[in-house]
């Protein structure tokens, strides 16, 4: 229960709806109890009237007595009907308050979680899978909503109705009350166990279903690989196996579900039989009238649902508490990327990195080892290195996606933590190694970093990234929709749209992380020379495997195993005849012309 306390702030926020809901519950229950008493009075009246009817009929007053009697019964009938209608109206109002409150809280919770997720550092995303993040914001929040809505609603109903009914029952006949209520605790306990069984099995089904969807999603997004390696049969077999498991689990749930209602009916039936039997004995002994039996049968029926719901509510609350624990676990993750001074200022773009060492906290891999370099505003730094040498790590650290293990990174003489994180990132244009485009139009993808999409700026960025002609050649031009992962574009086109997105926001610092690998050297040169003019007075960092990309940089560093092994400009490094020169030779011999 304790994890659910965190939700009290929401209950407080929507206290108006909650209090109204409680009020409506009390009123609606009054209209449940009164009809039961009316039924008792009506039946007792009918029985008494029958006893009087015969002597009156003999005395010639039969007709008048009959009319009177029918009128009386009609009034009772109308009264009971009116009560039922009023009860229905108040039930409607209860749902309109408590269930609406739960939906609003669900909305608030999802927004809070989503905002929180977005603020968390990259390391959080390394540790937790996207599936997990999605499950907590959707399934777990839904389970918590079940507590805030139905569970609270039925819980309040139970708390109001139960004492009220028991009070009336005891006031009418304590002995009969005891006997008729005997099977109800068994009902509640059985529902609790059956419901837990249902939940357990539903969860297994849910897991198997999400496994099935992940499998289908992967099979079809990797369909080209699947076909190329002729694995269709294998894939079908694996799918059939996963479906079989899903089917078995669904059938096992159906079995338990099938038990649910018969169980309730059986136990209610037993209660009714006991009521009729004990009540019948008391009627024979003259202790009570027939009406009391009818009233008690109604009471037992009235109590059936609240008692059933007790088991149900308990298991909902347990599940909600487990879900809220999972949600709290994520909500309690703190964002370590805190700014010390929250400096918001326009950057000039002078970068200084000193003795930078970085160890990835989750893997313990030392990706960078005492790296130092400087880039003046308007200059370009080329970073060359083998796979896994730490190039992308430098990009991540410059954007403050992680904080260094030791050493400092300064921009314009200030250490990164002094800047407001969003303000800093807003002035850095980043083109990641794995291009990610959204399922949206090309124009919106390019304008992603802008607060307002300016068509002129978008076109200019596309031209500078050398992708303009490709875009206007599409029938819908800039309005072309990109598929789920930009499948309508070629690898090189995607990279260039991604570059256009970074330069459209006219950043002070531009970081290209190996993002020209899928374009030919001619296009690479065209982009790089366009960038040279755009990035005049701004700073660029060009990370690449290819010497052709880094060649034009003012300063080049060559990385190996997290360490700088060579540094200088192209001519200097060529003269050194070291790793860089060797790489240059290899790449030119491999048929990659590197001349501009």
Ligand X SMILES: Nc1ncnc2c1ncn2[C@@H]1O[C@H](COP(=O)(O)OP(=O)(O)OP(=O)(O)O)[C@@H](O)[C@H]1O
- The residues in 386-405 that bind ligand X, with binding defined as CB under 6 A, are 387-393
Write down the residue that tokens 């060797």 correspond to: 582
Whichever of 308 and 393 has its CB closer to ligand X, that residue is 393
Binding-residue pattern over the window 482 to 521 for ligand X, x denoting contact by CB under 6 A: --------------------------------x-------
Write down the residue that tokens 């080209």 correspond to: 224
What DSSP letter does each residue of 213-278 carry, written as one string? HHHHHHHHHTHHHHHHTT-HHHHHHHHHHHHHHHHHHHHHHHHHHHHHHHHHHHHHHHHHHHHHHH
- Exposure pattern of 557-584 as b/e (b: 16+ CB <10 Å)? bbbeebebebbbebeebbeeeebbbebb
Binding residue for ligand X (CB under 6 A) from 119, 357, 433, 587? 433
Binding residue for ligand X (CB under 6 A) from 58, 130, 363, 469? 363
112-120, 138-146, 189-197, 385-393 -> range binding ligand X (CB under 6 A) = 385-393
Distance separating the N- and C-terminal Cα atoms of the chain: 68
294-302, 305-313, 356-364, 421-429 -> range binding ligand X (CB under 6 A) = 356-364
Rounded Cα distance between 18 and 9, Å, is 13
Angle between helices 521-534 and 455-464 (to 10 degrees): 130
Write down the residue that tokens 């009034």 correspond to: 75
94-102, 131-139, 262-270, 361-369 -> range binding ligand X (CB under 6 A) = 361-369
Whichever of 335 and 345 has its CB closer to ligand X, that residue is 335
The answer to whether 148 and 7 are in contact (CB under 8 A) is: yes
Whichever of 8 and 387 has its CB closer to ligand X, that residue is 387
Where would I find the H helices in 128-182? 130-135, 141-146, 152-172, 174-181
Binding-residue pattern over the window 574 to 593 for ligand X, x denoting contact by CB under 6 A: --------------------
Is 444 one of the binding residues for ligand X (CB under 6 A)?
no
Whichever of 152 and 558 has its CB closer to ligand X, that residue is 558
Whichever of 37 and 357 has its CB closer to ligand X, that residue is 357
Whichever of 121 and 568 has its CB closer to ligand X, that residue is 121
Whichever of 197 and 367 has its CB closer to ligand X, that residue is 367
# residues near ligand X by CB under 6 A? 17
Whichever of 246 and 360 has its CB closer to ligand X, that residue is 360
Is 126 one of the binding residues for ligand X (CB under 6 A)?
yes
Is 365 one of the binding residues for ligand X (CB under 6 A)?
yes
Sheet holding 406-411, edge to edge: 366-375, 351-359, 406-411, 414-415
Whichever of 391 and 551 has its CB closer to ligand X, that residue is 391
DSSP state letter for 345: -
Rounded Cα distance between 590 and 548, Å, is 13
Q: Is 518 helix (H, G, I), strand (E, B) or coil?
A: coil
Q: Can you read off the two tokens belonging to residue 360?
A: 């990835």
Is 385 one of the binding residues for ligand X (CB under 6 A)?
yes
What DSSP letter does each residue of 411-478 carry, written as one string? ETTEEGGGB-HHHHHHTEEEE-SS----SSBHHHHHGGG-SS--HHHHHHHHHHTT-HHHHHHSTTGG
Is 382 one of the binding residues for ligand X (CB under 6 A)?
no
On the 0-12 / 13-18 / 19+ scale of CB atoms within 10 A, 300 is: buried
Whichever of 140 and 369 has its CB closer to ligand X, that residue is 369
Binding residue for ligand X (CB under 6 A) from 367, 416, 497, 573? 367
Q: Is 398 helix (H, G, I), strand (E, B) or coil?
A: helix
Is 150 one of the binding residues for ligand X (CB under 6 A)?
no
272-280, 382-390, 417-425, 525-533 -> range binding ligand X (CB under 6 A) = 382-390
90-98, 152-160, 355-363, 446-454 -> range binding ligand X (CB under 6 A) = 355-363
Q: For the CB of residue 120, give the shortest distance to ligand X in the complex, in Å.
A: 14
Whichever of 127 and 227 has its CB closer to ligand X, that residue is 127
Is 130 one of the binding residues for ligand X (CB under 6 A)?
no
Q: Is 558 helix (H, G, I), strand (E, B) or coil?
A: strand
Binding residue for ligand X (CB under 6 A) from 332, 362, 434, 595? 362
Rounded Cα distance between 145 and 309, Å, is 16
Whichever of 188 and 392 has its CB closer to ligand X, that residue is 392
Q: For the CB of residue 391, give the shortest distance to ligand X in the complex, in Å.
A: 3
141-149, 345-353, 362-370, 406-414 -> range binding ligand X (CB under 6 A) = 362-370
Binding-residue pattern over the window 3 to 42 for ligand X, x denoting contact by CB under 6 A: ----------------------------------------
Question: Which residues, 6 or more positions from 95, have their beta carbon under 8 angstroms from its beta carbon?
Answer: 153
Question: Which residues, 6 or more positions from 28, have their beta carbon under 8 angstroms from its beta carbon?
Answer: 86, 87, 90, 91, 93, 94
- The residues in 538-567 that bind ligand X, with binding defined as CB under 6 A, are 545
Contact footprint for ligand X (CB under 6 A): 126, 360, 362-363, 365, 367, 385, 387-393, 433, 514, 545
């Amino acid at each position: 229960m304790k994890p659910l306390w965190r939700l009290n702030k929401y209950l407080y926020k929507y206290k108006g709806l909650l209090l109204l809901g409680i009020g409506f519950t009390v009123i609606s229950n009054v209209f449940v109890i009164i009809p039961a008493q009316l039924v008792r009075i009506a039946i007792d009246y009918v029985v008494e009237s029958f006893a009087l009817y015969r002597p009156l009929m003999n005395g010639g007053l039969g007709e008048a007595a009959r009319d009177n009697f029918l009128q009386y019964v009609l009034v009772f009938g109308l009264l009971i009907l009116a009560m039922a209608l009023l009860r229905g109206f108040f039930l409607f109002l209860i749902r309109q308050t408590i269930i609406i409150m739960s939906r609003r809280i669900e909305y608030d919770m999802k927004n809070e979680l989503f905002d929180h997720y977005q603020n968390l550092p990259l390391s959080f995303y390394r540790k937790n899978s996207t599936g997990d993040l999605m499950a907590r914001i959707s399934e777990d929040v839904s389970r918590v909503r079940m507590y805030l809505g139905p569970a609270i609603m039925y819980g309040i109903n139970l708390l109001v109705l139960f004492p009220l009914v028991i009070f009336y029952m005891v006031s009418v006949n304590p002995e009969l009350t005891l006997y008729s209520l005997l099977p109800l605790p068994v009902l509640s306990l059985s529902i609790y166990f059956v419901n837990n069984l249902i939940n357990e099995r539903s969860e297994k089904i849910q897991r198997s279903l999400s496994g099935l969807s992940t499998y289908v999603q992967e099979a079809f997004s990797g369909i080209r690989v699947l076909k190329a390696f002729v694995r269709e049969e294998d894939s079908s077999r694996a799918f059939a196996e996963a479906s079989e498991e899903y089917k078995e689990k669904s059938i096992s749930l159906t079995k338990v579900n099938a038990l649910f209602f018969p169980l309730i009916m059986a136990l209610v039936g037993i209660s009714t039989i006991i009521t009729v039997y004990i009540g019948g004995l008391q009627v024979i002994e003259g202790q009570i009238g027939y009406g009391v039996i009818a009233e008690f049968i109604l009471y037992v029926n009235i109590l059936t649902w609240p008692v059933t719901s007790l088991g149900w509510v308990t298991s909902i609350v347990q599940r909600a508490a487990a879900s809220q624990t999972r949600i709290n676990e994520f909500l309690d993750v703190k964002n370590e990327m805190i700014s010390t001074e929250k400096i918001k200022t326009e950057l000039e773009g002078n970068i200084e990195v000193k003795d930078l060492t970085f160890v990835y906290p989750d893997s313990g891999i030392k990706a960078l080892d005492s790296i130092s370099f400087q880039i003046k505003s308007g200059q370009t730094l080329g970073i060359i290195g083998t796979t896994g040498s730490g190039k992308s790590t430098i990009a991540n650290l410059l954007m403050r996606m992680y904080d260094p293990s030791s050493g400092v990174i300064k921009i314009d003489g200030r250490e990164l933590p002094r800047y407001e994180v969003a303000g800093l990132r807003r002035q850095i244009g980043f083109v990641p190694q794995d291009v990610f485009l959204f399922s949206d139009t090309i124009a919106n993808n390019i304008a992603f970093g802008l607060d307002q999409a300016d068509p002129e700026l978008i076109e200019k960025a596309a031209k500078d990234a050398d992708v303009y002609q490709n875009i206007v050649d599409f029938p819908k031009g800039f309005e072309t929709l990109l598929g789920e992962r930009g499948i309508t574009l070629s690898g090189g086109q995607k990279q260039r749209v991604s570059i256009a997105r970074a330069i459209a926001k006219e950043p002070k610092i531009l970081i290209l992380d190996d993002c020209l690998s899928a374009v030919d050297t001619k296009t690479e040169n065209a982009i790089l020379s366009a960038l040279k003019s755009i990035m005049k007075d701004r700073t660029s960092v060009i990370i690449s495997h290819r010497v052709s990309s880094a060649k034009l940089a003012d300063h080049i560093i060559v990385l190996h195993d997290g360490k700088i092994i060579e540094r200088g400009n192209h001519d200097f490094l060529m003269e050194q005849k070291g790793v860089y020169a060797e790489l240059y030779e290899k790449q030119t011999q491999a048929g990659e012309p590197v001349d501009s």
